[in-house]
């Protein structure tokens, strides 16, 4: 079992020794990007939840890896969109335009935090509160409020160069996933479709909802189409409705994740950009050097 730690400031040799002792590591190496890679002792706290929580307390981004695989060894890179590839929850910002943001944001948080709230019911309820909103407002909302997550362009460019298929699989809305896909050069976007009549939202959704089961189904389907096992997929998300597709992946990544996600994923990114994942994937790089004992 291996541990990779990173933070948004250089890690000194003293830091390396302290972190190694904290996590009961057998040895450590520096890796590209300024992070550290450790091999964990048999008695170390190898439960992901414990490691990620300890890392959070120490101001570290952490990854727990059984076997290092280079990026080119994977074939599919899948992202959630809201609060993962972009900085906002689009449905909350749309609700702001009709004066219902607080109400909708509360329902969104409940759905993302634990999954205890039925996702389909919650999404339909929130969408109905948007009834009457002109779709013409979408363009200005995107321009004024949507920001791409730091490091996303670099990670996606590296994945495409390595031959991976790239996708957004989102419980969000098709206008926004389409814009983000085009802006970042992703291969495909899958999301929910809003019903429109006379240029305004009706408050209803069209077709099958993209919920947790649908997300996992799309990941499995894309892997079948590529002729590879789902262990050849990397999945990045933040909320409870991402857990099922994350469970299929060979590498699961939580970007500023909710606690229920933090407890299960391989890697947690709290402080750095999404491109810091490239350092985790490069952690077996032979250019690293051993830490002083």
0.85 exceeded by the pTM? yes
Beta strands 233-237 and 76-79: pairing type?
parallel
Alpha carbon separation from 68 to 38, 41, 145, 263 (Å, rounded): 12, 17, 37, 20
CATH numbers and ranges of domains, the chain: 76-217 (3.40.50.1000)
Q: pLDDT higher for 286 or 232?
A: 232
Nearest Cα to 222, choosing from 186, 172, 268, 256?
186
Instruction: Strand 200-206: give its sheet, edge to edge.
Output: 25-30, 36-40, 2-6, 61-65, 267-269, 251-255, 233-237, 76-79, 165-173, 188-197, 200-206
Q: Catalytic one among 14, 27, 67, 80? A: 80
Tokens read off for 292 = 């002083």
- Per-residue pLDDT, 285: 52
82 is catalytic: yes
CA distance 253 to 246: 8
Mean pLDDT across the chain: 92
Q: pLDDT higher for 285 or 85?
A: 85
Q: pLDDT tier at 287 (50, 70, 90 boundaries)?
A: very low
- The residue-averaged pLDDT of 26-55 equals 84
- The residue-averaged pLDDT of 195-209 equals 97
For residue range 145-196, list pLDDT tens digits in order: 999 999 999 999 999 999 999 999 999 999 999 999 999 999 999 999 999 9
- Per-residue pLDDT, 27: 85
Highest-scoring range by mean pLDDT, 3-17, 18-32, 190-204: 190-204
14 is catalytic: no
Which residues make Cβ contacts (< 8 Å) with residue 225, sequence separation at least 6?
Answer: none
Q: pLDDT higher for 187 or 286?
A: 187
Q: pLDDT tier at 204 (50, 70, 90 boundaries)?
A: very high
pLDDT of 44 over the 80 cut: no
Angle at 47 between CA 164 and CA 57, to 5 degrees: 90
Q: pLDDT tier at 116 (50, 70, 90 boundaries)?
A: low
Residues 280, 252 contacting (CB under 8 angstroms): no
List Cβ<8 Å contacts ≥24 apart for 228-232: 228/75, 228/76, 232/73, 232/74, 232/75, 232/76
Q: Catalytic one among 82, 174, 238, 242? A: 82
């Amino acid at each position: 079992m291996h541990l990779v730690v990173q933070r948004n400031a250089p890690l000194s040799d003293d830091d390396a020794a302290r972190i190694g002792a904290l996590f009961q590591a057998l040895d450590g190496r520096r890796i590209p990007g300024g992070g550290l890679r450790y091999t964990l002792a048999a008695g170390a706290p190898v439960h992901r939840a414990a490691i990620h929580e300890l890392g959070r307390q120490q101001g570290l981004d952490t990854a727990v890896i059984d076997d290092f695989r280079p990026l080119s060894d994977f074939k599919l890179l899948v992202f959630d969109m809201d609060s993962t590839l972009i900085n906002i929850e689009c449905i909350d910002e749309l609700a702001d335009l009709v004066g219902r943001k607080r109400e909708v944001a509360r329902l969104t948080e409940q759905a993302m935090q634990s999954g205890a709230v039925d996702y389909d019911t919650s999404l339909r309820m929130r969408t109905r509160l948007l009834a009457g909103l002109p779709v013409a407002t979408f363009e200005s909302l995107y321009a004024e409020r949507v920001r791409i997550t730091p490091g996303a362009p670099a990670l996606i460019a590296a994945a495409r160069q390595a031959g991976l298929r790239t996708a957004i699989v989102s419980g969000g809305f098709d206008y926004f996933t389409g814009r983000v896909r085009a802006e970042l050069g992703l291969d495909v976007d899958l999301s929910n479709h809003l019903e429109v009549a006379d240029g305004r939202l009706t408050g209803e959704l069209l077709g099958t909802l993209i919920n947790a089961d649908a997300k996992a189904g799309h990941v499995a389907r894309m892997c079948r189409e590529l002729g590879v096992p789902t262990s050849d997929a990397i999945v990045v998300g933040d909320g409870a409705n991402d857990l099922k597709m994350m469970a299929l992946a060979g590498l699961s990544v939580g970007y500023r994740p909710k606690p229920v996600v933090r407890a299960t994923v391989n890697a947690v990114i709290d402080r750095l950009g999404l491109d810091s994942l490239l350092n985790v994937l490069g952690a077996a790089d032979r250019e690293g050097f051993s830490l002083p004992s």
